[in-house]
Amino acid sequence: MEAFRTSGARGTAWAAVPRGAGPASVPSGPARVSVPGGREPHGAEEPRRAGPLIVTEDLGLLDDLLRLCAAAGVEPEVHHRVPERRASWTDPPLVLVGDDVAARCRGAARRPGTVLVGRDRDDPGVWRLAVEIGAECVLRLPDAEGLLVDRIADAAEGVGRQALSVGVVGGRGGAGASTLACGLALAAARAGRRTLLVDGDPLGGGLDVLLGGEREEGRRWPDFAASKGRLAGGALEESLPSVRGVRVLSWGREPAAPVPPEAVRSVLGAARRRGGVVVVDLPRGADPAAAEALAQLDLGLLVVPGELRAVAAAHRVASTLAMGVRDLRAVVRGPYAAGLDERWVADALRLPLAGELPYDPGIVADQDAGMPPGAEPRGPLGRFCDAFWAHALALGGEA
């Protein structure tokens, strides 16, 4: 594993990035890094958001298609025949043609993203019509409703690079996982990335409080408890509180029932489709919701203080996490007990070392003064997080 080092007046920080198929050189320095699966840079560009064109005279089919568009969070344009205005046919990201009018669409311009939709499973002529109008596929309702919702949402949101998802877990209570999660989120936002910070620990103090955004308007986890299936990524993002450029999904102030795994899957799936960065602060316990979140991570960071008892506790946590996280690494936090250092701790846990986080005696005072952890880029936490993202996201010469 390749690592890099940053130094400054307030200490030295080490950081590393996820392992992948091979290292990629960073032109600005001698360090070499690798990223899972050779992923490309995660940009913050807005994906195209436009509803599909529906062409049908079948009112029952139209009702079904409108319902599916609503489920995907888009508003379609509806015509009963091929639109006279050429752009109305060629510009939408997706065209849904009912089998009742497909024969009248033969003369329309060929375009990608045309889908023939119907209900009659016994009509062999539908495949001939699909070829004649240049349809990419034929979908039968109601069996293909789930597939069609995904297709509509993908077309409306744009299918780009998925977000890089990083989970942070404490090796023991008070290890500093929430502090690191906030620091990583703020650093990603400073780098101009679309950033979502997810509070995955219902028994924690609340990441919105740690960031100073507990009074910001927006939805919290209880509002998504009944979510199933596909959520629109744009609608999710816009519904959440924004604090210092970071969208935050946290828990409310009142006790709430556990969020089911299906809701976690829907929310994180929508968040990842938006691109950028998703940082998840996770509990040490392996409840079903946490297990679902772990399965969606590209990288897990286990925060471990440099103490023998903390290492013993972290070993048990790591054993549980390793069953659900594809790439788990240790972030070792000072100060250290006699005879220990970051390499010793990582070796004892049998984990790759993601980095050393130097002890910062001023972080508590900063938080008491209303400064979120990692908000100061010149501090140890800020430097660690900025350097981590710079290497994790800077591929192909893009800084």
Which residues of 175-298 form beta strands (DSSP E)? 195-199, 242-243, 246-249, 277-282
Asked if residue 34 has pLDDT above 80, the reply is no
Classify strands 246-249 and 242-243 as parallel, antiparallel or unpaired: antiparallel
Note the pLDDT tens digit of each residue in 333-374: 999 999 999 999 999 999 999 999 988 888 877 877 788 998
Instruction: Determine what percent of the chain is predicted with pLDDT higher than 90.
Output: 65
Asked if residue 13 has pLDDT above 50, the reply is no
Where b means 16+ CB within 10 Å and e means fewer, 161-170 reads ebbbbbbbbb
Mean pLDDT of 175-181: 96
CATH architecture, range 3-38+161-393:
3-Layer(aba) Sandwich (3.40)
d(CA 101, CA 200): 48
Contact 97, 77 (CB under 8 A): no
CATH architecture, range 53-157:
3-Layer(aba) Sandwich (3.40)
Asked if residue 12 has pLDDT above 50, the reply is no
Note the pLDDT tens digit of each residue in 20-33: 333 232 222 222 22
Mean pLDDT of 90-102: 96
H or E stretch including 233? helix 233-239
> Fold match between 3-38+161-393 and 53-157?
yes
The per-residue DSSP string of 108-131 comes to SPP-SSEEEEES-TT-THHHHHHH
Half-sphere exposure of residue 221: CA atoms within 13 angstroms, side-chain side: 28
Strand order from edge to edge, sheet including 195-199? 3-8, 11-16, 353-357, 328-336, 299-306, 164-170, 277-282, 195-199, 246-249, 242-243
Domain locations in the chain as residue ranges = 3-38+161-393, 53-157
pTM to 2 decimal places: 0.72
Give me the amino acid identity at 358. P
